[in-house]
Structure 1
Amino acid sequence: MALAELQRDPAGGGRFSSPVPPLCRRRPCALGVDEAGRGPVLGPMVYAICYCPVEKLPELEALGVADSKTLSEAERERRLGLLEAAGDFVGWGLQVLPPAHISACMQQRAKYNLNELSQDTAQGLIQLALDSGVQVTQVFVDTVGPPDRYQARLQLQFPGLGVTVRPKADSLFPVVSAASICAKVARDRALLHWNFLEDFGDPDRGYGSGYPNDPKTKEWLRRNLEPVFGFPQLVRFSWGTAQALLQREGVPVTWADDDPPSDPPSVLSFFARSPPQPLPHRPLPHRFFQERSLRPLTEL
């Protein structure tokens, strides 16, 4: 897999893809979509597509593709090598979303949650395959959120394709299993080759799985917290685990333009009747107004 560019700059993210096999430009193809790294507090999330001609799906399955979570790291690397060797009929594409990008999306003013980010990324990779000339006719996707709603969204976007969205699709459809392997290997390599640019912390790679409930991950976060500047770029700062640690052990910050704390007024206070105020002394109005019993609006 040509991921040398990703390994040089994992924090930069971006898209990476194989050459499109000529056979995939001529024959109807099945395409699978899966991701790796959705839940961890550390590292990027990687979305992957893998595709091959429908008639070649038995050959793809014969390569031993499987849900990447059921394979050891060595087995994932080995089976990825088999996918690369089958480059005359198998192609792939990746979208690597850096931690800072994920957190910025989730914390922007307009609500944009992780499900929406995931679905938009998957949709973009399917479009990438179509724009690259792959003759996609069938799409299989591991679901994010309710599968029926997700499938309807993709079917509306790609009305000419047969779309199937299922939970655990990476264990049901070989083409999704292949995408799962590509995504997981790419994420593992990004973590392994991560360039720590910060001048603080202890950038050893003993951070465990990267999931918030992993004791090694929690200890690495605590050890790499800089009280003023926070965490290295490897950390998804929008995750609750990171936020709680920063609030507990970081330095409090007061911004110069912050308003002083105060209790907001009750909504009912805007509708309360004000006590009557004495009217200021005014000279008698002109006889024209007196004869007609006219009074200024301010006195009514």
Structure 2
Amino acid sequence: MRGLVQLAFDFFDALESKPKQAPAPINQAPVAPEIGAIDPVPLPTLLAPTAFRHPRARREVLLGDAVVAYAFERARRRSIGFSVGPEGLSVRAPHWATLSAVDAALREKSGWILRKLQESRERQARTEQGRITWADGAALPYLGGTLRLALDPAHRFAGKGAAREGGQLAIALPHNAAPAQIRDAVQAWLMRDARRHFTERLDHFAPLLGVRWTSLRLSNANTRWGSAKADGSIRLNWRLLHYRPAIIDYVVAHELAHLRVMDHSPRFWDTVATVVPDYAQLRDHLHDEPAPLWD
């Protein structure tokens, strides 16, 4: 009997001598492991892929690390064609082309497509940054420089509503004028000044090109700077006044050259080069640097 009692005591002594684990605290947030103990997370799961989405996209494809959702349509054509515009990538394919063939063609040209999409996005960002705020003291790009808008309700400017005074464009409006009123007054002045400036440059380049222009109309197009008809009528966008004079000269010479060559053949560009030798650089600048937005 004594032996059994001794064994029981030995058993409980062994239990008491075993190290005990402290109970987990109640309602205490778990302690994060050390940084070195965390498994590394692959970078693609941390960064969302670049995405370019056309507002009328019907399909999308992965080009490199970018998701490109593009507008797609079937057309009567011999090959798969694509273009990149302000809205994104547009693809036109013949009816016989499979969708897998379309995506393969896009992947083959992925470098060019992604570069153009990124350039278009950057251009849109610059355009948005250049939006004009219609208020006293606002900056207005003008002939490659800047005019500051100055509201001057006491000035009548001989009934014209605005006048250029040095580096300022003084506008006969009160300081609490609505933005739309300021914008309309500035536009009216710019259109008058554009007609004056364009007429001078047309008269300068026409004799040099051996052509005669008959009429000038101002346009407000978003994507076209000018046009010419065989009868000598010229149309020019008044927003060209936002650019420096050399760029305006290129557009004027371009339209006058069409009175001699009504296409964009090498002969046409040779004609432009006779009066504007650096037309290519000026054309690229006009394409790359958007005019400011008008609300």
Give the shorter-chain TM-score range.
Answer: under 0.3
Flag the structure with larger Rg: 2
Which structure's residues are more often strand, by fraction? 2
Higher relative contact order (Cα pairs below 8 Å, separated by 6+ residues): 1
TM-score by length of 1: 0.24
